[in-house]
């Protein structure tokens, strides 16, 4: 576990004249598990969006697998990273249609097996009948688990999880944390205020107020 997978070098972000991050440095090694904490508005989600090329830094660079994230590398980065945002809106689609849409993209290039879908539904305590329901009609906790399952079905090794357990009860939180923390092949960066993520071996990074 000694190869750097993500590096924020001297990153500064200014959103509409407001300084959000200033000279921020962070190096993440392959297989590491990181918990990002900090007050609301300190720029935690912005760190994820910079890595995905959705926000351009005002100063500094982000590197993924030693490549600077820019117009040439961003599609590569997006095929390697699974991003779970705080809120997901998929219109009126059923869960099945939502999955079909994601797996129809050329950048994904495969469909998950039914066994894998069923195994994950079982692990996260969801009934497969939910596949037929409108995503919009699900409870907050069901939606969170569906999006986490989707991120795992993508078979990527780097996970950016933005408050992924905020709507789950304690026992489900623990299952989600177990799943992501116990697999040494995964690099996991989670933004959460939930103490359940504070596991041994997980590095805590506090984003300062500026």
Ligand X SMILES: Nc1ncnc2c1ncn2[C@@H]1O[C@H](COP(=O)(O)OP(=O)(O)OP(=O)(O)O)[C@@H](O)[C@H]1O
Residues of the shown chain interacting with ligand X in the complex, contacts defined by CB under 6 A: 15-16, 20, 38, 40-46
CB 64 within 8 A of CB 6: yes
Least distance to ligand X from the beta carbon of 25, Å?
A: 17
CA distances from 165 to 3, 4, 17, 42 (A): 28, 27, 32, 20
Query: What are the tokens at 183?
Result: 């697999």
CB 187 within 8 A of CB 30: yes
Nearer CB in complex with ligand X: 81/117: 81
Residues 11, 21: Cα–Cα separation, whole Å: 7
Nearer CB in complex with ligand X: 20/35: 20
Nearer CB in complex with ligand X: 18/66: 18
Least distance to ligand X from the beta carbon of 191, Å?
A: 6
Burial class (CB in 10 A: 0-12, 13-18, 19+), 12: middle
Nearer CB in complex with ligand X: 43/112: 43
């Amino acid at each position: 576990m000694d190869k750097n997978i993500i590096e924020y070098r001297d990153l500064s972000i200014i959103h509409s004249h407001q300084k959000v991050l200033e000279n921020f440095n962070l190096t993440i090694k392959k297989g590491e598990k990181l918990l990002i904490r900090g007050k609301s508005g300190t720029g935690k989600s912005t760190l994820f969006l910079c890595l995905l090329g959705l926000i351009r830094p005002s100063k500094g660079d982000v590197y993924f697998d030693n490549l600077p994230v820019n117009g040439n590398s961003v599609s590569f980065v997006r095929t390697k990273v699974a991003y779970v945002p705080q809120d997901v809106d998929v219109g009126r689609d059923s869960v099945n249609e939502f999955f079909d849409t994601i797996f129809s993209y050329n950048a994904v290039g495969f469909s998950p097996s039914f066994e894998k879908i069923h195994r994950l539904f079982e692990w996260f305590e969801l009934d497969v009948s939910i596949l037929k329901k409108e995503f919009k009609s699900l409870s907050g906790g069901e939606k969170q688990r569906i999006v986490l399952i989707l991120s795992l079905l993508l078979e990527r090794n780097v996970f950016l999880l933005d408050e992924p357990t905020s709507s789950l009860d304690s026992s489900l939180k623990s299952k989600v944390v177990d799943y992501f923390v116990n697999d040494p092949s995964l690099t996991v960066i989670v933004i959460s205020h939930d103490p359940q993520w504070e596991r041994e071996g997980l590095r805590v990074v506090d984003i300062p107020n500026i």
